[in-house]
Amino acid sequence: MTTRYCYALKILLPAFLFILLAGGYGWSQQEKSDRDRPFVLSFPHEIDATKLWINYMITGTFGGYGSFIQTRSGVWDYSIETTYGNHPAETLKVIIYIPGYQAQTMDLSSRINTPQRNIEVHLLPLATVPFSGRVLALPNTDLEGLTLNVTYAPNWLCEFFNLPDCMISFLPINSVTLDKDGRFTVVLPDFAHDQTVSSFKWRGSFGFTIWNMKGGERLFSLKPKDEKYGKMGVDEADKYPDQVIFELGPR
């Protein structure tokens, strides 16, 4: 072997090793960046994004972490991070709800290690159900002009996230003003015919509360007098009677 040939090997071999290692490093960095990049959910521009509700949960070596996405008017693309404390997630589940449309659940765990991070969300319309009620006032309790707020507790959230117990966040549904006799009429989402909600064992229920909006004070919670409609709130149904009677409960 000539001196010139040995000299060439001394130069080319380290260069070859550098390229090989750099290529491998670049591949691992690309794999890591794909895994750590957030998912982006894109919604139709005709919706009111301020009423959009996005709840998600990720799990991994860090345990589990769940949160909500803060939505804004005129913004229809929202990112969901797939790391927690610099640790990558192994699973990702998302719940989406917006008034006028069916709820949606997404299990994105199978895509957590792929570069496919952009998701177009297609919404399915949901009908409404008329609901009328009357609040039985206590003596010397004037309900006229007070605000009745209706919320929804998605109890199936725990089942979807595979949790034995979890904190339920109440979704705002509607609000109306009570008349002098404590009567009111609202429209409720027809969750009884919602394909997502109907797929779970544990359903949800509507909660009713009375507020003094001038002072921002919650005055009473309500419960149906007849428990066939629900013990604490009103269960989902595709039809309700002409009038459901409520009794005043604690705040």
- For the stretch 189-211, pLDDT in tens is 999 999 999 999 988 999 999 99
Q: Examine the domain organization and report whether 109 and 166 are in the same domain.
A: no
> Quick check: is 32 in a domain?
no
Q: Cα–chain-centroid distance for residue 173?
A: 14
CA-angle at 25, arms to 20 and 29, nearest 5°: 150
**Does residue 5 fall inside a structural domain?**
no
- Domain boundaries, position 54: 39-120
Spacing of C-alpha 138 from chain mean position: 37
Q: Which two tokens stand for residue 2?
A: 């000539």
Same structural domain, 44 and 151? no
pLDDT value of position 15:
46
pLDDT at res. 26:
43
Q: What local confidence, expressed as pLDDT, does residue 33 receive?
A: 58
Looking at residue 213, its pLDDT comes to 81
CA 103: distance to chain centroid?
9
Residues 230 and 134 grouped into a single domain: yes
∠ CA 23-24-26 to the nearest 5 degrees? Answer: 65
Domain count, the chain: 2
86 & 145 share domain: no
Same-domain check for residues 132 and 87: no
pLDDT at 34: 63
Averaged over successive runs of 10 residues, the pLDDT of the chain (251 residues) comes to 42 42 43 72 95 95 92 95 91 96 95 90 96 87 90 93 83 93 95 95 92 86 91 90 90 71
Q: Is residue 49 part of a domain?
A: yes
Q: What is the CATH number of the domain that holds 146?
A: 2.60.40
Same domain, yes or no: 138 and 194: yes
Predicted pLDDT at 35: 66
| Residue reference for tokens 């199978």 | 110
Verify that 110 and 133 share a domain, yes or no. Answer: no
Q: Is residue 4 part of a domain?
A: no
Q: Which of 120, 148, 173 is the last residue of a domain?
A: 120
